[in-house]
Amino acid sequence: MRKQAKGSSDQIIHYLLKDDGIFPNNPAIPLIIQVGAFPLDGKGKADPERMESVFNSHRWRSDWRNGLYTMHHYHSTAHEALGVYSGMVRARFGGETGPEISASAGDVVIIPAGVAHKNIWSSQDFRVVGAYPEGQRWDMNYGKEGERPRTDHNIRALPLPALDPVAGDEGPLMELWGLL
């Protein structure tokens, strides 16, 4: 379900995604989209070095630059932030019946552990910075038989990050993930 964060503008969108029987998703903390979190240059791109610097300063370790896999996958040992610095993507979150969300340069998507995500379509120049809270190492899971209950346990045991990856202790993650 799409909801607007309390006391925010239309720039913060969040979805609480429940277990669909294949993917655990995360019924406790929502997926967050921060629209226009980073400014764009004259070519319509955000600065990936700036994104990495901001993420790192808020204790989200920038780990890679690339695109987004075209198959459903999720992480049970890390939450994930995707900073779109170029192009645009349509992604599905939460499995085959989950919402389809568009993100473009300057947007940041914060994905709770357990939430399935998949690239449905992207522009040729689509690129993101991927980041994870300090101390968390991502794993890869695909909704296959035998992953659960191990991944369910990992998700329940995973600590929440200390800060929002974009705005630190003032960001929407603090309110929406119950860290205030």
Angle ∠(109,46,134) on CA atoms, nearest 5: 50
Question: Left, alpha or beta for 104 (phi > 0: left; psi -120 to 50: alpha)?
Answer: beta
Q: Total domain count for the chain?
A: 1
Question: What band does 180 get if pLDDT is binned at 50, 70 and 90?
Answer: confident
Summarize the confidence of residues 139-161 as an average pLDDT.
97
Write down the pTM of the prediction.
Answer: 0.93
What CATH number does the domain containing 150 carry? 2.60.120.10
- Identify whether 124 is part of a domain: yes
pLDDT in tens, 3-26: 443 333 349 999 999 999 999 999
pLDDT in tens, 15-61: 999 999 999 999 999 999 999 999 999 999 999 999 999 999 999 99
Supply the range of the domain harboring residue 141: 2-169
> What is the chain's Cα-based Rg?
15
